Amino acid sequence: MLYHNKSYVIVKGMARTGKTRTDWVKAGQALLIEGGIDAVKLHRLTCQLDVSTGSFYHHFESLDEYLTALAEFYGSEQAQLLFNEARAQAGEDPELLLKEATVLFGRGSMRQLNIAMRAWAHGDDRARAAVRRYDALLSDYLDQIFRSLGFDELAAKSRTLIMMGLASLDFDLNAMDPSFRKRWGYIRDNLILR
């Protein structure tokens, strides 16, 4: 028998939060952005999701396993999900796809996550491997888009390098005039020109 109680579903006397592994990973990403890897602690995760530690152990055997999942999500799914979202909005037209991807990858939280992951990667092999996989996937997608726009291999890869560098710069966006978004859009639009 099911009983619904706010964020819990009670099944035969067992409370279940309905939180998925992805929910846990996204909560960890928020903490990583906020305070670096040292901020990603079990107590802070449970507070972030408003659940008990039992919910955590339903999905992960240990914090170490969780940190591995946190790195692996970034390295294997993050870029794919963002490009899927861009395709859903823009379709397959390479220029529209690049513009939409620029918006999604340029969101403040994504830039901050890129910076936080790179900081974590300085001291952790699994984070370093995840950043490399993320960069390789992102690089392949951007290379394909620029090649679809008619650029040769060197021109496409050079444009990819510029775009990827912009996505991970660590500086105060609020202090920029004109804004970072305007500058990035200007650079992107000029990279599209032949």
Residues 145-172: pLDDT tens digits?
999 999 999 999 999 999 888 777 766 6
What's the whole-model pTM score?
A: 0.81
Place of tokens 């060197």: 154
State the Cα angle at 88 between 83 and 90, rounded to 5°: 85
Q: Amino acid identity, residue 18?
A: G
- Domain assignment present for residue 9? The answer is no
- Domain assignment present for residue 161? The answer is yes
Total domains in the chain come to 1
Binning pLDDT at 50, 70 and 90, where does residue 5 land?
very low
- pLDDT of 173 reads 65
- Domain assignment present for residue 42? The answer is no
Q: CA of 170: how far to CAs of 114, 118, 161, in Å?
A: 9, 11, 16
Residue 122 is given by DSSP the state T
Place of tokens 């990403």: 29
- Domain assignment present for residue 58? The answer is no
The larger pLDDT score, comparing residue 174 to residue 7, is at 174
Mean pLDDT value across the chain: 86
- Domain assignment present for residue 138? The answer is yes
Instruction: Kindly report, residue by residue over 75-112, the tens digit of the pLDDT.
Output: 999 989 999 999 999 999 999 999 998 888 877 788 89
Q: What is the domain-level CATH number for residue 74?
A: 1.10.357
Q: Is 2 helix (H, G, I), strand (E, B) or coil?
A: strand
- Domain assignment present for residue 70? The answer is yes
Q: Is 170 helix (H, G, I), strand (E, B) or coil?
A: coil
What share of the chain in percent tops pLDDT 70? 89
- Domain assignment present for residue 159? The answer is yes
Instruction: Calculate mean pLDDT across residues 21-28.
Output: 95
Cβ(180)–Cβ(167) under 8 Å?
no
- Domain assignment present for residue 152? The answer is yes
Q: State which residues form the domain around 150.
A: 65-192
